[in-house]
Structure 1
Amino acid sequence: MAKQAVQTEKKQAVYDESKIKTLSSLEHIRLRTGMYIGRLGDGSNMDDGIYILIKEVVDNAIDEYIMGHGSRVEMSLKKDTVTVRDYGRGIPLGKVIDCVSVINTGAKYNDEVFQFSVGLNGVGTKAVNALSSSFTVTSFREGRYFQASFSRGSLLDSKEGKSTEKNGTLVEFVPDSEIFGEYAFNQEYIEQRFWNYACLNSGLTLVLNGQKFYSANGLKDLLNAEVGEDRIYDEAYFKGDRIEFAFTHTQNYGETYFSFVNGQFTSDGGTHQSAFREGILKGVNEFYKKNYSGVDVRDGIAGAIAVKLTNPIFESQTKNKLGNTEIRGWIVGEVKSGVVDFLHKNNSASKRLEEKIVSNEKLRKELNAVKKEAKEAAKKIALKIPNLKDSKYHLGDKKGDESTLFITEGASASGSMVSSRDPYTQAIFSLRGKCQNMYSRKRADIYKNEELYNMMMALGIENGIEGLRYGRVVIATDADHDGFHIRNLLMTFFLTFFEELVVSERVYILETPLFRVRNKKETRYCYSPREKEEALQQISSPEVTRFKGLGEISPKEFGQFIGPDIRLVKVNIKSLKNINNTLGFFMGKNTPERRDYIMENLI
């Protein structure tokens, strides 16, 4: 025993002063990248790190405009090189190096210089510098310039001198492939962000590779682009010193919001969005001198709100949800006044809104009768939902943000997932096969369909996504024609009745391997024919397996596909106004146009 204790002691690492390490701030950014920019990714998702790098640089240019300096921002994208030029004040020449390489350095801690900025942590541009293989910043200021060049955060050289350029800052960088691996920019994602910037900063001109983005009417333009002709009345619009909002109603179900804080899109909302909803209800009830319920007033609403805050408090580093509680009162008050003023000045809109509210109230009462019948027929369903293997943690719990519901098809696929899942954060809902096509159906039809009703109750979204029980909803179907059809049926269901679930970026599609290439020494899983061909060239005497369905993947293997290395594709939409046309084309009645499309695109 004594000998064993000595051997154990020798094996243990010595913990002394030599083991204590201090990383420089830029080394820490490279080592713990996720703390600063969230996910890495390869550019296939609009939240991938390479887009966050662009955002951090452009945000600085926007901040200059917000403070009244420079009305134009230009960006060029050539392969992996990003160049951003603004015409603001320019970084003070003596502080250029510090501002892009020393953490907690910047003017945004000074309210006299920057009152409303997203990047208040003094990290943004430093993270871009640290995560770029090449990073050059040039400041033009009052007839002089200062330029500094870096690689992976390390200063290479600097120079200064006279300049004839207009005041402002020029940043050029190349994201580091050591950090991001193989990546590619999707220009559509950047165009969407530039359009948001333009609508949030009316009067600002943004140029992307020669394409111009400009909005004269702010959030009214954004909402009109999203909703289009689906609106029941022209958008209500209000703009104050610290708040701007717009809203209208459509014939769709649920509530859809686009909320922003100092130009940052808050996909998970927060106190500003909840105060916006409350203010609309109070304004409507004051104008009509009624006591309408919030559900009836807001069902079918599409709204956008942007607020400017001196000290925004976000609930995560990625700034998806605002946490400031002290702002509720003044936002509710301003929204309420703005709503009352709009309805007084727009008789046509006030009449149509009242008709919509009365219609919502009537439909809700009819729906309640159907709900009662459905619940009588499915007692205890809230606690024991058929085909649901629940997780321990849900949204609102300590680990709730990690909670995921996988919607899969058939017993064989769900069996492999149930055996390999993390029961604390991963739940499985198994479909019996193809669910009903809900395009053009009424909400009451959900209660007449046992499977969709059970799924809705499992998700907790019967009364809106405020009751959502999981952080992510993942569609996990086979990569074949039937699997793709089920995906379309599920997305039709969500976009028809719970489009806010998609808009709030909660819905994903699970990517699973199509092939397994292995020999006795190595196994490689391939998600595309290209990956398979690469594996065949690198593995000698390989055995190739084609996975036809999820049920063919053993539980032992499946664990790694829904574990830390899970591959997910986020379901997102360009604009709400195109949804109905798209669903009608693919999921509506079998039209000649759709038959022609299928015949033309058959492979």
Structure 2
Amino acid sequence: MVQEANDNNGRHYTAKDIQVLEGLEPVRKRPGMYIGSTGPKGLHHLVYEVVDNSIDEALAGICDTIKITIYDDDSVSVEDNGSGIPVEIHPQTGKSTVETVLTILHAGGKFNNSAYKVSGGLHGVGVSVVNALSEWLVAKVRRNGKEYMQRFERGISVSELEVIGNSDSTGTTIHFMPDKSIFETIEFSFETLEFRMREMAFLNKGIKIILNDKRNDILKEFHYEGGIKSFVEYINKNKTPIHKDVIYFESEKDSTIVELALQYTDGYTENIYTFANNINTIEGGTHLSGLRSAITRAINDYGRKYSFLKEKEENLSGEDVREGLTAVLSIKLPNPQFEGQTKSKLGNSETRGIVDSLIYDYLNNYLEENPKASKIILDKAVSAQRARDAARKARELTRRKSILDNTTLPGKLADCQSSDLSENEIYLVEGDSAGGSAKQGRDKKYQAILPLKGKIMNVEKARIDKVLGYEEIKAMITAFGTGIGSDFNIEKLRYGKIIIMTDADVDGAHIRTLLLTFFYRYMKELIEKGHIYIAQPPLYKVTKGKKEVYCYSDKELDDILNELGRTNYSIQRYKGLGEMNADQLFDTTMDPETRTLLRVQISDDINADEIFTTLMGDKVEPRREFIEENAKFVQNLDI
């Protein structure tokens, strides 16, 4: 007999709501198939999977507080005040529903829409995978006036579900220890969890998420009654909005809830973040297409009606109307279909039309009812259009030069012979001296060298027409072959690796930051597809007799000096690449057999945007605060 229980809304959520799809056996054999990797990303995914279950309870209106605790031993617990996992015997498995959910892959209430109308966890693999990949897991359930507990080890129950006391509340606590034999590391990053938990609190207004790190005695609480409106305010906190209020609306059509918050800034790049059922759809999808279409249509219609655009002038492009835009689009739908390489692109075809029509209608009314803000937005878009016209000429000039020869980049680019992206690479080298050494030392077959004169412009503070007027940037665009902005086409990329090689001093770090700002703002796909690298030249050369050793960090230097006995040695500190001859530069920094390259990756797009805005934007105060907060982490200081 199956005992039924009511949740906080009076809805029946019982063992019958749990559907069993398949067994758990494959998870430990191929963990990467289920959580993406066994590195840090996969490790943190374990926490997300458990939190997703609690968020689903919040979406159903039966949970408002989630507490995540990281313990000294790197175990983690996730506690919520939802309805609690059902404890009754499951009719299909003959085990308690708690044990069923935790030991059978894809056993859960998300596959039956009667239990959860909208689910974020549907994209995930379930708490059973967390159990399978944990050294141990303890589940505690508060339900029916009692508290239950069951313990598992590597996905197998080692105790029965037992009553351990009475409870006047409901909810679930999952406490787990990741398996050291599976993961490369079990050390959780507080910052990584902080970014994700803040994001989840923004996306689910009113929910309280508490993150407690007992290792470092840090406790943070995320609770935003404004939801994604607060999210846009947070993203823009170091930017300068051009209209005061965040434009916000929420509506529903055909069981799809569409929520949008947007605000224009005086910047030149767009920042649109889209979510479907709380999943960050970093590759966009049909909801993003609907949003873009609606914004472009609404602003053009308003511009035509009130003569911001003359009769013979062309329409504003999507690029024009999105310049300086910060927007968060969050939709909730019953049956999301995810596509793309990382399953982070929404594919539901009907969603585009729903999002387009709802947002167009809302924006149309907003522009009519707010003429002051509308004029500011239209003026910026028209200004962007004029800049785009000027930039088009510069782009066309750059495109005409895309077939390189000695007449296009005289004395700059030393090209390589290979056109095979799997092996060829281009070094962006600071200064003529280092550029000369790099050209002499390189392997001409697959290594190209492009020396850059001085510091490139700070593109954070410039529109694309100004960016394209800068010679060093034009040289890079021409060399890469991809074009820029709306003309960007990664299929035309001429080098598999683009390597930033600057001096190991403050000026070199500044040039590296300027280049990364350029790539992030105007060629982000090169970073996302793994084409941008940073060379790691040595900091020191230690000589003792005929023995020469290169050191790439202060710790490495200390270890070498201890190994050499700290007698009869000399140290050379390299402040510039030009201090090395061609052979030394190749051996230490360019030879694939011996060099160290760092691949540039975006682990958190919102945080990356905030850092570039802080470091390279107009506002001084956020930059000062950043420096004060991070000064203690400086390792190499030039005085």
TM-score by length of 2: 0.72
Aligned amino acid, residue 137 of structure 1: A
Provide the residue aligned with 2:229 in structure 1: 220
| Structure 1 residues 263 and 416: alpha-carbon distance in aligned structure 2, compared to 1, 3 A threshold | farther
Instruction: Tell whether the 8 Å contact from 1:71 to 1:204 is kept in structure 2 after alignment.
Output: yes
| Structure 1 residues 474 and 275: alpha-carbon distance in aligned structure 2, compared to 1, 3 A threshold | farther
Alignment of 1:330-349 (within 5 A): 330-349=354-373
Cα distance, 1:33 vs. partner? 2.2
* Aligned pair partner of 2:53 in 52, 60, 64: 60
Instruction: Tell whether the 8 Å contact from 1:136 to 1:172 is kept in structure 2 after alignment.
Output: yes
Cα distance, 1:173 vs. partner? 1.2
* Aligned pair partner of 2:338 in 301, 306, 314: 314
Aligned amino acid, residue 298 of structure 2: G
Do structure 1's residue 91 and structure 2's residue 85 form an aligned pair?
yes
What CA deviation, in whole Å up to 9, does each residue of 1:63-83 have, x standing for no partner? 000011111111111231211
| Structure 1 residues 442 and 67: alpha-carbon distance in aligned structure 2, compared to 1, 3 A threshold | closer
What CA deviation, in whole Å up to 9, does each residue of 1:514-536 have, x standing for no partner? 5999xxxxxx9997555787899
Instruction: Tell whether the 8 Å contact from 1:30 to 1:130 is kept in structure 2 after alignment.
Output: yes
Alignment of 1:138-153 (within 5 A): 138-153=140-155
Aligned equivalents of 1:255, 1:264: Cα separation in 2: 20
| Structure 1 residues 371 and 181: alpha-carbon distance in aligned structure 2, compared to 1, 3 A threshold | closer
SS in 1 for 2:383: helix
Provide the residue aligned with 2:311 in structure 1: none
| Structure 1 residues 304 and 412: alpha-carbon distance in aligned structure 2, compared to 1, 3 A threshold | farther
Do structure 1's residue 172 and structure 2's residue 175 form an aligned pair?
yes
Aligned equivalents of 1:507, 1:389: Cα separation in 2: 17
Do structure 1's residue 232 and structure 2's residue 242 form an aligned pair?
yes
| Structure 1 residues 341 and 576: alpha-carbon distance in aligned structure 2, compared to 1, 3 A threshold | farther
Aligned equivalents of 1:25, 1:560: Cα separation in 2: 45
| Structure 1 residues 352 and 57: alpha-carbon distance in aligned structure 2, compared to 1, 3 A threshold | same
Instruction: Tell whether the 8 Å contact from 1:37 to 1:52 is kept in structure 2 after alignment.
Output: yes
Aligned amino acid, residue 198 of structure 1: A
Provide the residue aligned with 1:358 in structure 2: 382
Aligned equivalents of 1:369, 1:87: Cα separation in 2: 60
Gaps in structure 1 of 5+ consecutive residues: 1-23, 43-47, 395-401, 422-426, 518-523
Do structure 1's residue 258 and structure 2's residue 273 form an aligned pair?
yes
Do structure 1's residue 181 and structure 2's residue 175 form an aligned pair?
no
* Aligned pair partner of 2:286 in 258, 267, 271: 271
Provide the residue aligned with 2:44 in structure 1: 51
Instruction: Tell whether the 8 Å contact from 2:536 to 2:589 is kept in structure 1 after alignment.
Output: no
Alignment of 1:384-395 (within 5 A): none
Provide the residue aligned with 1:574 in structure 2: 607
Aligned equivalents of 1:206, 1:350: Cα separation in 2: 36
Do structure 1's residue 487 and structure 2's residue 512 form an aligned pair?
yes
Cα distance, 1:456 vs. partner? 3.0
SS in 1 for 2:284: coil
Cα distance, 1:262 vs. partner? 0.6
Instruction: Tell whether the 8 Å contact from 1:230 to 1:577 is kept in structure 2 after alignment.
Output: no
Do structure 1's residue 460 and structure 2's residue 471 form an aligned pair?
no
Provide the residue aligned with 2:125 in structure 1: 123
Aligned equivalents of 2:81, 2:499: Cα separation in 1: 45
Aligned amino acid, residue 240 of structure 2: D
Cα distance, 1:557 vs. partner? 4.4
Paired positions, count: 544
* Aligned pair partner of 2:27 in 15, 18, 29: 29
What CA deviation, in whole Å up to 9, does each residue of 1:31-67 have, x standing for no partner? 322222223334xxxxx22221111111110000001
Deviates more, 1:304-313 or 1:441-450: 441-450
SS in 2 for 1:367: helix
Aligned equivalents of 2:160, 2:541: Cα separation in 1: 51
Cα distance, 1:256 vs. partner? 1.5
Aligned equivalents of 2:122, 2:352: Cα separation in 1: 21
Aligned equivalents of 2:154, 2:563: Cα separation in 1: 31
| Structure 1 residues 466 and 364: alpha-carbon distance in aligned structure 2, compared to 1, 3 A threshold | closer
SS in 2 for 1:123: coil
Cα distance, 1:431 vs. partner? 4.1
Provide the residue aligned with 2:458 in structure 1: 438
| Structure 1 residues 351 and 323: alpha-carbon distance in aligned structure 2, compared to 1, 3 A threshold | same
Deviates more, 1:433-442 or 1:525-534: 525-534
SS in 1 for 2:159: strand
Provide the residue aligned with 2:206 in structure 1: 203
What CA deviation, in whole Å up to 9, does each residue of 1:177-196 have, x standing for no partner? 22223443221222221111
Aligned equivalents of 1:554, 1:504: Cα separation in 2: 24
| Structure 1 residues 204 and 441: alpha-carbon distance in aligned structure 2, compared to 1, 3 A threshold | closer
Cα distance, 1:285 vs. partner? 2.3
SS in 1 for 2:97: helix
What CA deviation, in whole Å up to 9, does each residue of 1:81-135 have, x standing for no partner? 2111111111111211121221121111001112222332662312211222221
Aligned amino acid, residue 37 of structure 1: I
Instruction: Tell whether the 8 Å contact from 1:257 to 1:302 is kept in structure 2 after alignment.
Output: yes
What CA deviation, in whole Å up to 9, does each residue of 1:285-308 have, x standing for no partner? 233336432222122222111111
Aligned equivalents of 1:404, 1:215: Cα separation in 2: 48
Aligned amino acid, residue 199 of structure 1: F
Cα distance, 1:489 vs. partner? 2.4
* Aligned pair partner of 1:551 in 586, 596, 610: 586
Cα distance, 1:393 vs. partner? 8.8
Question: What is the RMSD of the two structures over their aligned residues, measured on CA atoms?
Answer: 4.4
Gaps in structure 2 of 5+ consecutive residues: 1-21, 88-95, 213-218, 306-314, 430-434, 543-548, 578-584
Instruction: Tell whether the 8 Å contact from 1:420 to 1:556 is kept in structure 2 after alignment.
Output: no
Cα distance, 1:160 vs. partner? 1.5
Aligned amino acid, residue 200 of structure 2: Y
Aligned equivalents of 1:472, 1:328: Cα separation in 2: 34
Aligned amino acid, residue 221 of structure 2: K
Provide the residue aligned with 1:106 in structure 2: 108
* Aligned pair partner of 1:194 in 197, 200, 204: 197
Instruction: Tell whether the 8 Å contact from 1:475 to 1:508 is kept in structure 2 after alignment.
Output: yes
Aligned equivalents of 1:243, 1:55: Cα separation in 2: 23
Aligned amino acid, residue 184 of structure 1: E
Aligned equivalents of 1:327, 1:314: Cα separation in 2: 12
Instruction: Tell whether the 8 Å contact from 2:402 to 2:481 is kept in structure 1 after alignment.
Output: no
Provide the residue aligned with 1:10 in structure 2: none
Aligned equivalents of 1:450, 1:361: Cα separation in 2: 23
Cα distance, 1:437 vs. partner? 3.1
TM-score by length of 1: 0.76
Aligned equivalents of 1:546, 1:586: Cα separation in 2: 39
Aligned equivalents of 2:448, 2:247: Cα separation in 1: 42
Provide the residue aligned with 2:93 in structure 1: none
Instruction: Tell whether the 8 Å contact from 1:225 to 1:577 is kept in structure 2 after alignment.
Output: no
Instruction: Tell whether the 8 Å contact from 1:437 to 1:492 is kept in structure 2 after alignment.
Output: no
